[in-house]
Structure 1
Amino acid sequence: MVGRTTPAVVLAAINSEAFALPVIVLIILANGTRIGLTEWDEPLDTDLDGEGVETFSPVDFQQLSAFSAQINAPIDDRELMIILGGASLTASDVRRGRLDNAMAIIGYVLPTDLANPWLYCTYDFGQSDIKGLVSRIEMMGTEKRFEQPVGLTLGANCPNNYGDLDCGIPTRTNAWAAETDYALRGIVKRLTGSAGILWFRATVAGTSGLTEPVWPTVLGNTVVDGTVTWKAVRARRIIGTVSAVTDRRTFTSTGISVVADYFGEGFITFLTGDNAGDTRRVRSDNGTGTLILHLGAYDDIAIGDTFEALVGCRHRRVEDCITKHDNKNNSRTGTLRYRGFDFLAGENVTATAPKG
C-alpha cells in the first residue's frame, strides 16, 4: 500500500534492525519527467506514489544526507547529494536549470517486498551547486509553500507576468486556416512563406476565405480575408539567426530587427547549437539585431545558431501596456489590464511631506 502510513513489513524491518532498508528517491522535473534513484546496488521496481511501477536506478543516486542515517528525522529542509555523470542526471542538467522547480518524493522499500513501499515525505527543490562530480541540492519541506505573500503588493509597476491570464496577451498563435471563424482581436501568423516579424490581428471578426490572403508587409496595413479584416501587428515570437558573436552575453542576429528594446526583459530560447534548449533573459536590444543577455550562455554561441525570441515587458503602464503591447482594451470590460500603481506616492514623497 502506498501512503504516509508505514507498511507493516517496513515497520518490522525498522524495529528489528536486521535488514537494510534502501532509500528510494523519485525526482519529478517541471516538465513531468520522472527519475527514480536508489542507494541499493540493484534496480528496484516499485510504485512509490501510486502512479504505477517504475524503476529506481542504482547508477545515478549515491548519497542522501540525513535520511538513511535518521529514518525518524523530522520533516523539514534537507540536502540531497548526487554523484553526477549517469544517464539520468548530468552536471549539465544541473547547471542548465533542468532541476529548477522540480520536486522529490522520498521513500523506503524492502527489496524482498517491492509491493509495499513507504512514502516518507515530499520536498521542493531549491538552490543547487556543483563541486567536482557532486551536486548538492537544497530540498525544502512542503510547509515552505505556505510561506508566500498573501494579497497584492502595491507598487509602481504592474505585477502581472507577461502573457499570463491576468495580462491577457497571447504569446503564441496558430497559422491562418481557410474557412475558419475568427473573433475580434484574434491573431494568426502566415500559413506559407517566411514568418517574418509580423502577425495579423482581426479588427473585424468573421470567417476567413478559401485561400490565404496576400498579407501586408507594412506594420499597421490591413487586408480583407473573406469577412475578416486583418491588421499587421508586430509578432511576439520571432526566429533569429546569430550573425556575429562578442561573447556569451552579447551577439548580433538577423531576422529580429524590430525597434529598440522590443526584446528587453524578454527571453530567447536557443533552438540549435551547443546551447539548444536553454532559455536566457534579454537585458537589452538595440533594435538592429544586437542582444545583450543578463546571464551568459552556458556554452559558446556560434554564428549560425538559431533561437526564438519572445518580446519583453518592463511592466510600465504607458510605455509597455499601452504603447508597446496595445493591451489597453484587452479585457471583458474594456478597461486596462495594467495593475500597477504608477501614481502611488513613494517613500521619499511621504517622508518629506509637510507635517502638521
Structure 2
Amino acid sequence: MKILHVITSLNLEQGGPAQGLRNITSHYAALGAKATVLTMDEANDDLGSVDHLTVITIGKGKGTFCYHPKLIKKLKSIAAEFDAVIVHGLWQYHGHAVRQALKHTNVPYYVFPHGMLDPYFKHAYPLKHLKKSVFWYLSQYAVLRDAKAVLFTCEEEKRLAEASFSRYTVNPVVVNYGTNITPIAQQASEDAFYSKYPALKNKQIFLFLSRIHAKKGCDLLIKAFANALQKNTNIHLVMAGPDHTGWKSELVAIAKSMNADTHITWTGMLKNELKWSAIKAANVFILPSHQENFGISVAEALALGTPVLISNKVNIWREIEEMKAGLVEDDTLAGTENLISRWMALTNEEKSTIQQNAEKCFEQKFDIKQASKNIITQIKSDLRHD
C-alpha cells in the first residue's frame, strides 16, 4: 500500500504535525505500507531525519495561506501512484488542492486536523476566527465533508471539534496518537544535559518542552514558579522551545520583576539526544496550556517515566488522570500554582509511584505503533468497501 502525505512543511520548528507525521509513518514498513510526503519546503531545506520517507519538495507557498500555483497540477500528475492521500493540518491551501486534484479520481483522501478545529481558537483569536469562518464556508467545510474520514487523535479532540462551526459534516474516526521511543531515547541519560548545563545538577527541575507561545500558558508558568520559589529555592525551571513570536523577552521581564530569573534557564529548541537527556534529568514535566490537541512532548515525557503536570485543556488529560501518571488542574494562574504546590507536597514514595505509572500510561495509551496500525486498518477497510 502506498500513501501520500501532504503537509505545508516538514520542518520540526513548525510544531507537532511535522513530528507526528514522522512518528506515524516510521511504522508503515512493518504494516506493509510505504509513505511519500509532498511538502512545500525547498529542496535544500534542513528537514532533519526523513530516512524512512520519500520526500517531494515543490518550494514555498505564498503567504500564510501557502498558496502554490503548481500544487494541484503536481498532485494530479502523481495521484494514480497512491492508494490514499492524507492531508495534515487545516486553514491553508494544501487541503483545497488535494480535494480539487482528486475530485474525479478513485483515490480517497483523509484529513488529520491536528487540533486545528478546537473551539479555543474561536474565543482566543476572534478576528482570526472571523477570517477562518469565511474560508470555512468557501472551501474548508467542503474539504472535510468530502474526505473519506477526518482523523482525530482522541475522543476529546473529536468532541471539541463539533463546537467550532455551525455547519459541520464529517466522517469522524479516532485513530489515537503518540510518539516513538527511538534507540537514542531508550539509551538517554541525564549526563548530556548536565554536561551542557552543569549548574542545574542536583536541582529539582521542572521542564517546559514546547513552543514559547501564548496558548502554552508560559506566562502562567513563570508567575506560578516565581511564587513557588518563596517556599523552595532549590527548584529550577527549564524553558525549552523555539520562540517564533518574540514573546520570550516579555516573559524574561516578568521573571526578573518577580526575582525568579536566576532560577530559570532558557535553552531554545532541544533536539535529538539533548532533548531526551533533558527529559531524563527533569524531576517533572509541566505544560499549563490553554489548548493542546494532543501534546507530543507530554507523551515523550511519559515514555521516559517523567511524571507530567498539565492543564485540563491538554486533550489527553483524562488518560493521564485515569492512570495517575501526573497531576491535572485548570489553565489558570491558581491552577498552575496548584500543579506545582501539589507536586512539591508529595512524598518521595508517592512521586516514585507516579513515575512508574507514567511509563505504563505511555505503553498502554500513547505508543505510536497503535495509531499507525489504526490508520492503515482504516484505509484498507475503506478500500475494500469501495
Flag the structure with higher helix content: 2
Q: TM-score range by the shorter chain?
A: under 0.3
Flag the structure with higher strand content: 1
Structure having the higher Rg: 1
Q: Does 1 or 2 have the higher relative contact order (CA < 8 Å, sep 6+)? A: 2
Per the normalisation by structure 1, the TM-score is 0.26
